[in-house]
Amino acid sequence: MNHLIQISDCHIGDSELSMGVNSHQNLTNIIKQISTVKSDALLISGDLAHNGTVKSYEILKHILTPIQSDIFILSGNHDDANNLSTVFNKNLFNQFSLGVWEVISVDSVQVDKTSGYLTRQALIELDKRLKNSNAKYNLVVLHHPIVPMNSNWDDSLSLENPKDLFEVLVKYPKIQAVLFGHAHEAAEFSQDNIRIISCPSTALQFNNESRIGFNHYTLHDNGQLDYDTQWL
């Protein structure tokens, strides 16, 4: 059994305020709570920064100091890939293992666009990683939603080509779930017998939820995945 924490959409800026909230303090509060939870890894699924400056990533790195587990990061549309790599190069990942599970990322970010898109090359690489995975079970993670959110979220800002993604995913029954952020809300969906789980933002939600939160996953050795969204 392994434990995975997912946070997303921290929107850390050079100053404390982003999108009308104190994203620095909100993330600090979340990290304080996470540090009390049993975890083997922390996954951050994009939009770590609000404007993508080196300073904002350095601030974020300081806020993350209490985390004792490994930290794995993928980029979001608000992130600057070069600056993110400058500060968090050792934390960026294509895949990592947790016991009999393997978490595999795919990059859905388009330069200077809010919506996501998976290039042909990204899909080929994802297919290759899934095919070559020796793990019993897989999780796939990207930044953008891959299904309609059925909320006040604007689905045109989600992944533009989800059909192309599902053509890859359905080939691999070892996939137990797909995880994402970007929509700033907690929700769960299912398509083609795959669980699809949205992670809330540590900064603020885009729906009527006034709290901030994170997802805590329990990955069982028999392939069962349990999780709960913890709110502050």
pLDDT at 171: 98
Q: Strand locations in the chain, DSSP E?
A: 2-7, 17-18, 21-22, 41-45, 70-74, 95-98, 101-105, 137-141, 175-180, 187-191, 194-198, 213-219, 225-231
How many separate domains does the chain show? 1
Angle 137-140-145 from CA coordinates, rounded to 5°: 145
Say if CB 27 and CB 17 are below 8 A apart.
no
Q: Please, what's the b/e burial string for 138-177 (b: 16 or more CB within 10 A of its CB; e: otherwise)?
A: bbbbbbbbbbebeeebeeebbbbbbeebbebbeebeebbb
- CATH number, position 116: 3.60.21.10
pLDDT at 209: 97
Would you say the pTM of this structure is higher than 0.95? yes
pLDDT at 90: 97
What are the pLDDT tens digits along the chain (232 aa)?
999 999 999 999 999 999 999 999 999 999 999 999 989 999 999 999 999 999 999 999 999 999 999 999 999 999 999 999 999 999 999 999 999 999 999 999 999 999 999 999 999 999 999 999 999 999 999 999 999 999 999 999 999 999 999 999 999 999 999 999 999 999 999 999 999 999 999 999 999 999 999 999 999 999 999 999 999 9
Domain that holds residue 22: 2-231
Q: 3-class DSSP state for residue 85?
A: helix
